[in-house]
Chains A and B, each alone.
Chain A
Amino acid sequence: MEWAWVIIGSALGGMARYGVSGAVARRIGETFPWGTLVVNVSGSFVIGLFGALVATGGALGGARMVGAFVMTGLCGGYTTFSSFSLQTLNLARDGEWPRALANIVASTALCLLAVWAGFALAALIPGG
């Protein structure tokens, strides 16, 4: 049954990624992969939150279907490493080395912070 939740979640996550990153790109512009950055950071926050909640002892402790749907499915389909890699490569190929490096550093730092923030929020939830 977990498979079914992964499939549904991943499909929804991918579509959400397309919508969000497209909207961000249209808003901010495409000289830097802001869309992917926004998607990866927000997805990392959600996986941090639910990762803490479904962990043993968390408010949703042991809820495997929730984990399959939200974490493996939604967050896994929503966030992307491949687009990040390709966009970093393209920045480098265009000679935009500072931006390429900034993409790497910012993506890593902000996503790790986002996970940590998700953990912190989970700790505020009763039972979490």
Chain B
Amino acid sequence: MRLLCPHPPLPRSRIFGSSMNPLAAYLVIGLGSALGGVARYGCGALAATLWPVAFPWMTILINILGSFVIGLFATLTGPDGRLLVGTLWRQFVMVGICGGYTTFSAFSLETVVLLRAGRPLAAGGNVLLSMALCLLAVWFGHRLARRLNQ
């Protein structure tokens, strides 16, 4: 019996159920997104000192990690999950932290910048790598959670 999850199992397309208290949802999402954003900013600053090359490798890594975590957490706390958490926790981690940490805008901007710099191969590589590795990551996170749920 799922004591902490008051909603019936959601269809997979509806990942983010509605909170009983909309204001609480906004607050935890704002907080999570702030945390994710600052972590992303820190990673960016680290990348600039570690390996300052003209390719957005850190954005790719950020998006991979965030995708892995959301895949893992979604299945761990999902209908068949082992981790019983309320909707607010799911919103905090998935919509908040993962959503704030990962970014589609930086990915898009960096790709266009590469195109405008006359580097179509690098741009295409950024798209292919980001898509392939992030989708693999979310799948791995999901599979790992499935294993942990058993």
Contacts of A119 in B (CB 8 A): 112, 116
Known interface pairs A111-B108, A116-B112; A15-B30 also in contact (CB < 8 Å): yes
The 10 closest A-B pairs by CB, nearest first: A14-B33, A10-B37, A81-B102, A82-B98, A85-B67, A85-B138, A79-B104, A11-B34, A47-B105, A75-B105
Contacts of B38 in A (CB 8 A): 3, 6-7, 10
The number of chain A residues with a CB under 8 A from chain B is 58
Interface string of A59-102 (1 = CB under 8 A from B): 00000000010011101111111111111111101100000000
The number of chain B residues with a CB under 8 A from chain A is 57
What is the CB-to-nearest-CB distance from B18 to chain A, in angstroms, rounded to a whole number?
Answer: 8
Q: A51-B113, A79-B104, A85-B71 are in contact. List 4 more A-B contacts (CB 8 A).
A: A33-B13, A85-B135, A87-B13, A104-B135
Provide the bound-state CA to CA distance between A119 and B117, in Å: 14
Contact B13 A94 (CB under 8 A): yes
Contacts of B129 in A (CB 8 A): none
Contact A47 B26 (CB under 8 A): no
B residues with a Cβ closer than 8 A to A are 11-16, 18, 25-26, 29-34, 36-38, 40-41, 44, 63, 66-67, 69-71, 74, 91, 94-96, 98-109, 111-113, 116, 127, 130-131, 134-135, 137-139, 142
Provide the bound-state CA to CA distance between A30 and B74, in Å: 17
Contact A80 B37 (CB under 8 A): no
Contact B26 A15 (CB under 8 A): yes
Contact A51 B142 (CB under 8 A): no
Contacts of B135 in A (CB 8 A): 85, 88-89, 104
What is the CB-to-nearest-CB distance from B101 to chain A, in angstroms, rounded to a whole number?
Answer: 7
A residues with a Cβ closer than 8 A to B are 2-3, 6-15, 17-19, 22, 30-31, 33, 40, 43-44, 46-48, 51, 68, 71-73, 75-91, 93-94, 104, 107-108, 111-112, 114-116, 119
Contact A90 B131 (CB under 8 A): no
